[in-house]
Amino acid sequence: MTALTRADLPTAARIVVKVGSSSISGEAAWRIPLLVEALAEAHARGTEIVLVSSGAIATGIPFLQLDARPTDLATQQAAAAVGQNVLIYRYQEALHPHGIVAGQVLLTTGDLEHPTSRSNARRAMERLLGLRVLPIVNENDTVATQEIRFGDNDRLGALVAQLTGADALVLLSDVESLYTRPPSDPTAEPLDIVAAGADLSGLEFGATVVNSVGTGGAATKVSAARLAAASGIGVLVTSADLVAEALSGAEIGTWFEPAV
């Protein structure tokens, strides 16, 4: 069996794309139509696309007239309830010119750990994809508690890729690729390909909290990428601004080779 490569992405049957809060919320909301256009191009080629999108809490913050991301769970849940509605509306508005319907799927980690709910989630996702609907997945922040949260949607993206049997996972970030050290370090070098099972213990991926609207960062992307790659799913980590190039098979970003 030949392992999927970055160049194979245009012909992959099913791809999960994950985008973070900082890429599509607040002043970055302008990026949603560009992201959707790239997804629609892949969809038109026949690829089944699942979008894992953060951003509910960050999108809801201004509607609650808050100055910053809330720290208490109840207000986070309230912001998510408002923001998820607005976020899906924005995606559907962007999808409308392409003739694509969005389907909202909200999950908690318990949903994917319990066999019955996991089976239900898989069946629903398969039916949505069969109907050529674009599933948009997010953590169910309105009901999740601190103890059962995914923690970051990079891991959720990997779990959804496993759930749906995706060929590839594309983790969109604020930078073009992962580096051997934090990008601000002058000795940092971009990582092109990470072989399956490679030892990354000597590399430095930085902190997990990277901005005021979301959680994540290089460390969580590496962890999620290794999780998916170990399941035979190829993973590309690159910038949200390069999503069209990524889905077209361009030699960009950091590619995690899938285990075979």
Annotated binding site: 18, 54, 141, 153, 173-174
Annotated binding site for substrate: 54, 141, 153
Annotated binding site for ATP: 18, 173-174
Rounded distance between C-alpha atoms, residue 141 and residue 8, angstroms: 34
Residues 6+ apart with CB under 8 A from 147: none
Is residue 160 a contact partner of residue 235, using CB atoms and an 8 Å limit? no
- Residues facing residue 237 across a β-bridge: 171, 254
The number of angstroms, rounded, from the C-alpha of 184 to the middle of its chain's C-alpha atoms is 24
Q: How buried is 58 (Cβ within 10 angstroms: 0-12 exposed, 13-18 middle, 19+ buried)?
A: buried
Q: What is the CB neighbour count within 10 angstroms for residue 226?
A: 19
Amino acid, res. 214? G
Quote the crossing angle between the two packed helices 153-164 and 218-230, to the nearest 10°.
10
Is residue 65 a contact partner of residue 32, using CB atoms and an 8 Å limit? no
Is residue 125 a contact partner of residue 105, using CB atoms and an 8 Å limit? yes
Rounded distance between C-alpha atoms, residue 12 and residue 7, angstroms: 10
